[in-house]
Structure 1
Amino acid sequence: MLSNLHSLSSKNVQSLWNSYAPGLLLTTTIAVAAQFLGEHYGAPVMLFALLIGMAFNFLAHEPSCERGVQVSTSTILRIGVALLGVRISLEDFSSLGWINLSATVGLLIATILFGVLCAKALGERWQFGLLTGGAVAICGASAALALAAILPSNKQSGKETLFTVIAVTTLSTLAMISYPMIAQNLNLNELQTGFVLGATIHDVAQVVGAGYSISDSIGETATIVKLIRVSCLPIVLFIVLIIMKTKSNDSKISSSAITIPTFLIFFLLLATLNSFALLSEALIHIANEASRWLLVIAIAGLGVKTSLKSTFSLGKRQMGLIVIETLFLFIAAVLFVEWGLSA
């Protein structure tokens, strides 16, 4: 009997391996290649992962790879987002000051609402405006992937997600290069410059690069402001989840019936533990690295699943929406600091 159980168990393991390993090996290899290119050419790793992934689109529906690629864009994505919680602590909020904190959150909310309204005005789905507005307002590609994980999934949403990730990653790189020069031409002081960079650049890595390219103090301020935006991600996800549940079944949904995704619970748990200094520096470092790698693998999988032709079939109007949202956020942040940023 034991031998039969062992044989059955071995067959199950072998079956799982054959189903998932090829696709996971593909997306992981793409992630490693993207990391190598990113380190050697100084370009965003996520952008490389997307582009390389799209080159392997012909494997997306290959039976041996399909399940592994799907896991990369679902389970692995959610784990990567959950681990982002180690970047957040209550100290980040208090060090910024309540006026500046309120302004950061206000800019975030305004950008998301602006995105939804602009999407409707341009004849796009409001979900696309939410996706792009959230990506611009919160944390770029990571926010886009997190929002995509709870929004209704279909072929159109898949193309929109990939398009959004490519667009915000590209715009984030352009912002990293141009925003510091613009801030200096506007004669902003160090606090104002740090706030603008942290409140407007899409991805965390580009915020750090832009801030510390000017000075350490600007880099620190920019990073704190950026982490405040990242910390709003679970709140936004929960609100969106409530909206989606309500829209899907208006009268039958009650607040008690709304379930919080597991990855969101772990995000909040890790953020809480980090706030009370219950996580060691070594553990935080490991979680950060794991999160970064898992998100790159997820983006690689997203690239594999979508062809370049179908992605850019969305057109200039959709790209214009993301550019408009980016400009709206930047102009609003500059106006805030010009009118009097609280020190």
Structure 2
Amino acid sequence: MLHQTGGLSEPNRLWRDLPGIALCALIACSATWTALLAGSAVVWGLIFGLVLAAIWSPPALLKTGISFAAKQVMRIGVALLGFQISLSTLQVLDVADVAAIVINVAIILAVGWFVGPMLGITRELSLVAAASVAICGASAAAAVACVVMRNDSANRDVACTIGAVSIISSAAMILYPPLVQMAGLGPAAGGIFLGGTIQEVAHAVAAGYSVNPETGDMATVAKLLRVALLAPACIAVSFFASSGGASPKPSLPLPPAFLVAFVVAALLNASGLVPRELSQATAPLSRFCLVMSMAAIGLTLPWRSIRAFGLKPIMLLLILSVVLIGSSLIYVTYGSS
């Protein structure tokens, strides 16, 4: 007898999910192609999903696959992000640089923890927003949301946060390089600033190389160090989130499987066991998975739920970005060797 899950055998379950997954993949392809002209594929995936849902209601045949893409494909994308981590990250930066980036991540998570509720935002959403600014934009928001968010508005909050932080990151890619030049920062300091403050990996890399190749190299390394902090940050956030809940004796939570996969992928890549070609191929695949999940979330969200998101979380994202800019400038101006 075949193994049963939820009343369906695994092969039947795959066939059941395939049409919805294929639809999300098609939307993700359209979003990726559109992003070659302008904007972020993540944002376009969300917009295309929202527009399609506004004019057409997906039939029952597609809904299980859409749900799979919104949750499981997102986790797969985060796990694949681990293949971008290598030992060269730590070899290029000195101890002070690594410490400064780690401290900045901790500062932003702490500011989000305290300031978010002061603005009337739930602590869970505050942590998702803080992680998106502190670590790696959309991927971090998705990962932390998978760990801490459990309510019915989670899809809306994650989608809106990812859309907003992607737009902020796009603006940073344009605005921060002139700031580096105005501040007179050299390649090392400028790269650490750009890689340490811009949310999305692609935007940080593009901003660095728009200054010069040396700044681009350093920005890439600094940004990948922030990506490497995703797993420990998620585990810490999960623990502190549970500490602040109703449970009187919180215990250290077991990390979700996708975070374990992220760490394993990072260790394998850092050890040199992963062929370079495979490591390079996982970067666009990870991004495509995230775009697919955004398309799936867009297909499940009514416009009225987007309006209900409000301006306060966006205000929090901007506050966190300003704090990160300030702390990073202080380090590269006075503390960087």
TM-score by shorter chain over 0.5? yes
Partner secondary structure for residue 240 of structure 2: helix
Equivalence for 1:146: 143
Q: Aligned in 2, Cα 1:305/1:330: closer, same or farther, shift over 3 Å?
A: same
Q: After superposition, what is the alpha-carbon deviation per residue over 1:70-107, rounded to whole angstroms, capped at 9, x for unaligned?
A: 11111111111111111112331232000011000111
CA RMSD of aligned residues (A): 2.1
Tell me by how many angstroms 1:193 deviates.
1.1
Which residue among 306, 310, 316 is the counterpart of 1:311? 306
2:324 corresponds to 1:329:
yes
Equivalence for 1:195: 192
Instruction: Assess if the C-alpha contact under 8 Å between 1:73 and 1:301 holds in 2.
Output: yes
Query: What percent identity do the matched residue pairs reach?
Result: 29
Tell me by how many angstroms 1:266 deviates.
1.3
Equivalence for 2:274: 279
- Whole-angstrom distance in 2 between the partners of 1:35 and 1:88: 24
2:121 corresponds to 1:124:
yes
Instruction: Assess if the C-alpha contact under 8 Å between 1:47 and 1:166 holds in 2.
Output: yes
Which residue among 17, 24, 29 is the counterpart of 2:26? 29
Instruction: Assess if the C-alpha contact under 8 Å between 2:126 and 2:313 holds in 1.
Output: no
Tell me by how many angstroms 1:56 deviates.
2.2
Q: After superposition, what is the alpha-carbon deviation per residue over 1:112-134, rounded to whole angstroms, capped at 9, x for unaligned?
A: 11112111211211111111011
Equivalence for 2:156: 159
Runs of 5+ unmatched residues, structure 2: 3-7
Instruction: Assess if the C-alpha contact under 8 Å between 1:60 and 1:66 holds in 2.
Output: no
Q: Aligned in 2, Cα 1:36/1:278: closer, same or farther, shift over 3 Å?
A: same
Which residue among 103, 108, 119 is the counterpart of 2:105? 108
Q: After superposition, what is the alpha-carbon deviation per residue over 1:261-280, rounded to whole angstroms, capped at 9, x for unaligned?
A: 11111111111111111111
Runs of 5+ unmatched residues, structure 1: 6-10
Which residue among 205, 211, 217 is the counterpart of 1:208? 205
- Whole-angstrom distance in 2 between the partners of 1:24 and 1:223: 32
Equivalence for 2:71: 74
Q: After superposition, what is the alpha-carbon deviation per residue over 1:6-38, rounded to whole angstroms, capped at 9, x for unaligned?
A: xxxxx9578435531221121101100011111
Q: TM-score scaled by structure 1?
A: 0.90
Q: TM-score scaled by structure 2?
A: 0.92
Tell me by how many angstroms 1:155 deviates.
2.4
Tell me by how many angstroms 1:292 deviates.
2.0
Which residue among 253, 258, 283 is the counterpart of 1:288? 283
Q: Paired residues, what number? A: 331
- Whole-angstrom distance in 2 between the partners of 1:48 and 1:14: 32
Instruction: Assess if the C-alpha contact under 8 Å between 1:60 and 1:69 holds in 2.
Output: no
